[in-house]
Chains A and B, each alone.
Chain A
Amino acid sequence: MPPPSPQDPSTSSTRPSPIPAAAGVGLRHPHIAAFADGVAEATWVEIHSENFFAPGGPRMAQLDRVRKNYPISCHGVGLSLGTAEGLDQDHLRTLCRLVDRIDPILVSEHLSFSVVDNIYVNDLLPLPYTEEALEVVTRNIDQTQEALGRQILLENPSSYLTFTDSTFTECAFLSALVERTGCGLLLDVNNIYVSAQNNGIDAVAYLDGIPGNAVQEIHLAGHTVNGADDDRLLIDTHGDVIADPVWTLYEKTLNKIGPRPTLIEWDTNIPELNKLLAEAGKAQSRLDAISDNKGSIRVA
């Protein structure tokens, strides 16, 4: 199936201007009033789409106010693009309604699954990288992009294991999806680091395997370290400042692919807004350093 036309801001008068290659923050409940009032010093925000699936009520009213003050990106955690049995059509329709309502600048989902036999597992579960999985995810992305009438970005997962069944590397799998569906990528640098550490993969080699042109957004988040030595596992908690090795990997990413809109995710142990914005500031200074060297790159 041919991909739908990627969004082209130059030909669409209704689409707001693209997110600049600047640092934004995840919009979380304790901070929503500051964004609704427009007083938070941030360039753009990202929501978890499913948190705004209600037909009405105060939360939706606040989102409309946030939308007036900031560009919004919709980041889904529940569509379950990897589900073998196909997408939940109600979920897809509700996502379309949300996208119509707030006209987000980016729409993204994960390379993972969370729905089986109509049960929703509240986690982003990993896929084996097989031909069958590639067909399933291709079909589901095609269907999503067709329903939304726009391109979506696909995020690389954090993982704690690998499957004996896999016949593709994660990079090869993501590249094949980009090629087959025309989707873009949301590169989560913390996820690369966490997965690489947990599964004995070289994070820099991973970066080399990613089609940089397809990357339209970057995620950064904190993780925690459980256990030591052979038992050491990094857990993708989104509950802390970004770790130093992840900043280093982020710098390498920017050097390789150029500046991209970068989002700080902080979902547990949510800090004061200032602390969250300070993390965004750290990303922004790295983006500025790269832009000064390479000139501003506009990302649509």
Chain B
Amino acid sequence: MLHELQRNFASVALKNVTAPLLPHIEGPAGSKERRLGVYHANTINSLIDVLSDAYPVTQRIVGKRFFSTLAKSFIETAPPRQPTLFRYGSSLGDFLGDFAPAQDVPYLADIARLEWARIAAYFAEDYEPLNPQKLSAIGPEKIGDVCFKIAPSLHLVESPYPIFQVWAVNQPSCNTVPAIDFTNAEQGFVSRQANEVFQHAVTPGTFHWLRALSDGSTLGAATNDAMRHDQSFDLQNTLRQHLADGTFTTIYI
């Protein structure tokens, strides 16, 4: 009994389907619907707020009204599965990839994926970055066999569009808008160090190197992979940069 009633109430809250619940509500007909409508409005509006807080750049690009429309569609397709709302909305990027009314802005889905990567980095577990001396202690004959455990806050993002530039010019602090060449693909990463979330666009070589290392490749194999995609890949500088960025937590052979 109770479970059935609760299921019907969830349909009111999420979809405004009131008919099955009406016989259980006190009061005259029109009043019951209006009262149930309060729960629907509370639920949907609060979820739209959650999404608009999580996706400020996506919202800025399409405007508040359109964002509200797409958020409603998203909520219908993918209602929250857990009460921790800071985790709600992770699949908005994938949703936008298929959302017909948003296809005029072909980079929108990837912007949303970048914004979600920032949230995932923000809430990721704390970690100790790798002490570079541990790597120095490995002899040159073994260095190619080293594997890295990657920081829990590191997220790789790639797009056929210049999403890092689009994100940057859509920050409230950005006063000058440079010309953006929308034919430029961009790839990069988001991470967090000392409680600060940061992001960098990187060269294709570095991106493939990071991806290979994330997938568990040895340093040797990952470097070969990077060189295949980008002959100018500079291992020493890239490694130094990522040791400084706290990209790795431990090494193992």
Contacts and interface: CB of A to CB of B under 8 A. Distances in A.
Check if A and B associate: yes
Interface of A: 50-51, 53-61, 77-80, 82-85, 88, 90-91, 94, 113-123, 125, 127-128, 130, 132-133, 136, 160-165, 198-199, 230-231, 233, 235
Contacts of A136: 2
A57 B24 contact: no
Interface residues of B, number: 45
Given A57-B195, A128-B24, A161-B26, A122 B6 contact: no
B26 A78 contact: no
B40 to A, nearest CB: 9
B80 A125 contact: no
A285 to B, nearest CB: 32
B4 to A, nearest CB: 9
Which among A57, A115, A116, A235 has the greatest number of chain B C-beta atoms within 10 A? A57
24 contacts: A51-B86, A53-B86, A55-B123, A56-B152, A57-B125, A58-B195, A60-B126, A90-B82, A113-B6, A113-B9, A114-B83, A119-B14, A120-B83, A121-B9, A121-B80, A122-B47, A122-B80, A122-B85, A125-B39, A160-B39, A161-B26, A162-B25, A163-B24, A199-B26
Interface of B: 1-3, 5-7, 9-10, 13-14, 23-27, 31-32, 34-36, 38-39, 42-43, 46-47, 50, 79-86, 122-127, 152, 192, 195-196
Nearest to A133: B2
B13 A121 contact: yes
A84 to B, nearest CB: 4
B26 A162 contact: yes
B244 to A, nearest CB: 20
Contact of A233 (B10, B35, B152): B35
A163 B32 CA distance: 10
Contacts of B84: 50, 53, 78, 94
B3 A57 contact: no
A58 to B, nearest CB: 4
A85 B85 contact: no
A132 B6 CA distance: 13
B6 A231 contact: no
A84 B195 contact: no
Among A91, A122, A132: residue with most chain B CB under 10 A = A122
B38 A235 contact: yes
Nearest to A85: B3
A90 B47 CA distance: 22
